[in-house]
Structure 1
């Protein structure tokens, strides 16, 4: 069949006229696969760690809850001191009374002094750096798979990196004014 051009599909195909066979053959296997993937990815996530991260947020009802913070600190081998948590609670309560309440974890981290609250600050720093999901990483690999095709095998590492960043951060790139600053352009 090398010399022939096919204009229609070839081969046997089963028609699914009824919705029950379509559910059995298409929908249910897809749902089973998705549930299996979710269980595989997230079964190792400990709820205590997530509660500890939540306890670092001033928006949480468990903000600076010592039991939740201890779970997070213990997992990362941080010796969290009870006194630090108590003093920090009082310190941040005074800030709130003065009208300077912290809005997010980064603000709390910046308000705490490293000398006075070393273990609490380290615990909050860990919670700030723990990735919430792997979506951005997976998006990067998808972008690389699209960019580094067979036709672009000779592309250099610097150009590939630049294209990948542009592809992943395309929303931010669309808001740039390309005429305002020519220093960004490479010769």
Structure 2
């Protein structure tokens, strides 16, 4: 098989047929006529595909939104979650309730109450304080938060920026430049240190140092 050859994996072989004892009637247990390829398609490919479809349906389930709201309350506010709310999150994601409760107190103590937190800002704060090294349960929960499908139109607006950037005059713009321009336009809310960019640009060539 191609996948086995590419990844240097031994090709699967047909399973040895097991026979039923004569006192139980005799015959073969696995008397299926499936080929090795069909067997892996049924038992592996279809099984994985079914798991993916089920996970996608669960992610977009309306009952899932209550968990998302609790996670946002956990990371973006100073308010401590109640024991029932923590148990609901821990039960849903199969996490340790005691670890989540203790880690919440450490995180909330360091969180600034006056600041309006977003998921990106809280993640940056989380990493800057090395919580990703000490708060393992909340780290896993934060990773899950970043994989939740976006259900707002903010991401759709970013795609419309391409129409504003690639105009008739810029029709010959290359892919790399177009990607950079789109990224600057989409992430325009982030603060950019122009001096640091200029310093990095000048430091790459000696000729630029003479000019600047």
The TM-score, its normalising length taken from structure 1, stands at 0.47
Q: Which gives a bigger RCO, structure 1 or 2 (Cα 8 Å, sep 6+)?
A: 1
